[in-house]
Each structure stands twice: as C-alpha cells, then as structure tokens.
Structure 1
Amino acid sequence: MNTQDLERLVTLAMPFGKYKGRLIADLPGHYLNWFAREGFPPGQIGQLLALMQELDHNGLRALLEPLRDAKRTNDFSFPHDRS
C-alpha cells in the first residue's frame, strides 16, 4: 500500500457491477466482503477493492477523510509533505 493507492480509493469509481460509478471508498461493506469471500478481480481494481475491504473491516474508513478533503481542494499533498 502507498499513498497513491489511498488517493485512488477516493477518486476512482467502480467500473462494473451493481455499484458501477460509485467511488471505491463509498462501496458498502457487505459488497466488499462479498469480494473477499468470492475473490477479488485481477489487477489494480482488485487490489484497491481488497485495500478498501481491509480498511472497512478494521473500522478505518475515517482515515480516508483527509484525502476526501484534499480531493475537494485538489491538494493531495500530505501534511508531512508540505514545506
């Protein structure tokens, strides 16, 4: 996992399925858990879904809020990256 993966969660929309068009960060836990049971798709989308499932499962969705705020202001630098 890296910061770019976390940024993608709040900017990339689900490309297929029941929740097509919804941000990956906004997918419901039961849908993410279904993928965890049945298997994540290959490639980057599967990796991001797995990451989001881990965040959701461990109650860490709130960690994405600063990134959501940064998305609103188009500033994806992290506080420790700022001079």
Structure 2
Amino acid sequence: MNPELLKDLVQMRMPFGKYQGRLLCDLPEYYLVWYHQKGFPAGKLGMLLATLYEIKLNGLEYLLQPLKR
C-alpha cells in the first residue's frame, strides 16, 4: 500500500455531493458502500474512495488515526 494514499485520505476533502467539504476519511461507510455498488468515480478520487471502502470494510480505520493528528 502506498503511504501517500493514506495521507491523502486524511487531508483531501470531498469535492462534491452531499458530503462536499468533508474529509474523505470521515465519510460514512454507507456512502462508500453506495459508491461501491454504483461505481467509484474515475481518477484519483475514485481510487481514494475505493481504498477507503476497503479500509472501512475490513475494520482498518486505526491505520488512519496517527495521520489525522
């Protein structure tokens, strides 16, 4: 796993939609599940959301905690 992806998850904000302005790492799991079913957007944002989906699905949120500080 690329550590830069994890860093981006705690620094980048959602650029659009219901959760616009919220840090990606703070997006609710059900929102990521919805994206997983409908398809993640193309590009870096989609890759980050897919990574966050896998992190939350597998209970690995603790990996992000040290980076949020």
Which residue in the other structure is 2:65 paired with? 65
Q: What is the alpha-carbon root mean square deviation over aligned residues?
A: 0.6
1:5 corresponds to 2:16: no
Paired residues in the alignment total: 69
Task: Give ranges in structure 1 of 5+ residues lacking alignment.
Answer: 70-83
- Identity percentage over the alignment? 52
Which residue in the other structure is 1:29 paired with? 29
Which residue in the other structure is 2:18 paired with? 18
Consecutive aligned runs of 4 or more in structure 1 exceeding 6 Å deviation: none
Report the residue type matching 2:39 in the other structure: G
Give the TM-score of the pair, scaled to structure 1: 0.81
Give the TM-score of the pair, scaled to structure 2: 0.97
Report the residue type matching 2:32 in the other structure: L
Q: Larger C-alpha radius of gyration, 1 or 2?
A: 1
Which residue in the other structure is 2:50 paired with? 50
| Secondary structure in structure 2 of the residue aligned to 1:22 | coil
